[in-house]
Amino acid sequence: MTPRKITRTRQNSPARAARPAGNGKGASANASSKTAVQTAAKGAKNGRKASAPLAPGRISAILDILAQTYPGVECALHHRNAWELLVATILSAQCTDARVNMVTPALFKKFPSPEDFARAPLPEIEEMIRSTGFYHNKAKSLSGAAKTLIEEFGGKVPQTMAELLRLPGVARKTANVVLGVAFGIAEGIVVDTHVLRLSRRLELTSATDAPRVEQDLTKIIPRDRWIAFSHELIHHGRQVCIARKPRCIDCTLEKLCNSSDKTWGTTTGPTPAQKPAAPAKRG
């Protein structure tokens, strides 16, 4: 079936209501979330936007539904410590997490520490990470990050945004991943290609670049949800709200979504609750 766009005036949408992910957490959806979903659905039936996109009740409903749909979601990059996560995140640029996870076991076996990376000839690192793409630049970043870590931070991965940004190859997205996943520090929100796309589709921002999207999101998402929120959106973007053909029929957020990108007729597959995280490109 050829997917077709759904207009905002579409009647009788068969969109599904938010559903729990099967661990019982879904039953705890609060009354305000339900009200926001009901209000949004009513507005959609009337052929108009349901409510102000940034209304606190709507934001709260989106967060609740994401938490119910992806309970306990985690970073898909395999790592045993902050340094390995930093390396894996640098390698994940323009590459799937699955590919990175195929490369890192041998890489960490050959170069177990930042000192080993700092000593390694660039061609040796390049050869081991070639399949992740952009391997010349990535090898330089890994080598440079290891050297800076040793020279300026005693060989330990720093735990502040300002210090992490001093490492070659590390921008805010990578720093946010390391701070959030390795140290549980919510300094910002990870904005990769999925978070950017979904934040726009859900009208949480109108910005088109990652720094401004992050700024907008940090104003409307409670800080204690920053870390999980990005993981949840990334998983939703991989499994359901796919760039070219979003699977709106399977989307737990459908009743809250007014995106002109809505696509109806995309074939359904396993729901997020049934399917493990699929590999996807990181932005």
Footprint of ligand SF4 (CB under 6 A): 201-202, 240-241, 246-248, 251, 253-254, 257, 259, 261-262
Write down the catalytic residue from 64, 97, 138, 173. Answer: 173
Query: What is the secondary structure of 115-133 as a DSSP string?
Result: HHHHHS-HHHHHHHHGGGS
CB closer to ligand SF4, 138 vs 238? 238
CB of 261 to ligand SF4, least distance (A): 5
Spatial separation of the C-alpha atoms in residues 164 and 168, rounded to whole Å: 9
CB closer to ligand SF4, 172 vs 262? 262
CB closer to ligand SF4, 100 vs 248? 248
Query: What is the secondary structure of 29-65 as a DSSP string?
Result: --HHHHHHHHHHHHHHHTTS--S-TT-HHHHHHHHHH
Of 177, 174, 102, nearest to 138 by C-alpha is 174
Distances (CA, A) of 236 to 173, 210, 250, 262, 273: 18, 18, 10, 14, 11
CB of 253 to ligand SF4, least distance (A): 5
CA 43 to chain centre: 29
Q: Which two tokens stand for residue 187?
A: 């300094």
CB of 262 to ligand SF4, least distance (A): 5
Give the Cα-Cα-Cα angle 219, 211, 201 (nearest 5 degrees): 70
Give the residue carrying structure tokens 């735990």.
159
CA 52 to chain centre: 24
Catalytic residue flag (residue 173): yes
CB contact set of 224 (below 8 Å; sequence gap of 6+):
186
Burial class (CB in 10 A: 0-12, 13-18, 19+), 105: exposed
CB of 235 to ligand SF4, least distance (A): 12
Of 92, 275, 79, nearest to 183 by C-alpha is 79
Catalytic residue flag (residue 192): yes
Write down the catalytic residue from 64, 192, 216, 250. Answer: 192
CB of 200 to ligand SF4, least distance (A): 10
CB of 233 to ligand SF4, least distance (A): 10
* Residues annotated catalytic, as ranges: 173, 192
